[in-house]
Amino acid sequence: MKYRSQLLIVPTLLALFLAPVSKAQVTQPQPLVATQKVDQMLDRILARGEGHVGNVKTTTYVHPTQKELDEIRTMGVSAVPALSKAIDDPNPFRELLAAQLLKEIGGTEVVEPLTRGLSPKKWTLVRTQCLSSLTSAPPEEARPIIEKMQDDPDERVKKRAGDLLTAHYGAPPRN
């Protein structure tokens, strides 16, 4: 009987001590790994657009490859925190790229960072990409934001909002 009770104690103790360790290994590193992967991807894409003409550094926006788009789709919502941070980067090409990649993920999670990207302080191209990317969010969340942007002082943002409402939501053009 004593031997049997000792056999039951060992697996129970192992389960109690190993369960938190295995859970920590599965849940805690994931956001860090996703953030690192996204940051590395953004850096890699942006680096493809960098060059030199003589002593002058040049930068051109380069779109992500199909493989990179597939990778970001596979990462899904785990990529949103890093892309959300990139929406507020001082480099407008990084902001633009983040907005484009958030569209590939879609869903409710992308609404908040894309809405921040609509700030009048942002580059117009970033703002119009954020509008376009909002169409990947649920219509009940995205449409009111896009409708509001029809009153934006920037004519290009206003036009993009109207075009998206017509194309994606069947709204008649505004006069």
Q: What is the pLDDT of residues 28-76, one digit of tens each?
A: 346 678 899 999 999 999 999 999 999 999 999 999 999 999 999 999 9
Could you give phi then psi for residue 53, rounded to 5 degrees?
Answer: -120, 100
Rg, C-alpha atoms of the chain: 23
Distance CA 65, CA 48 (A): 11
151 and 169 Cβ atoms separated by less than 8 Å: no
Query: 10 Å Cβ neighbour count for 68?
Result: 17
Domain membership of residue 1 (yes or no) is no
Domain membership of residue 3 (yes or no) is no
What's the number of CA atoms in the CB half-sphere (13 Å) around residue 114?
31
Number of domains present in the structure of the chain: 1
Predicted structure pTM score: 0.81
57 forms bridges with which residues in the sheet? 52
Domain that holds residue 143: 29-169
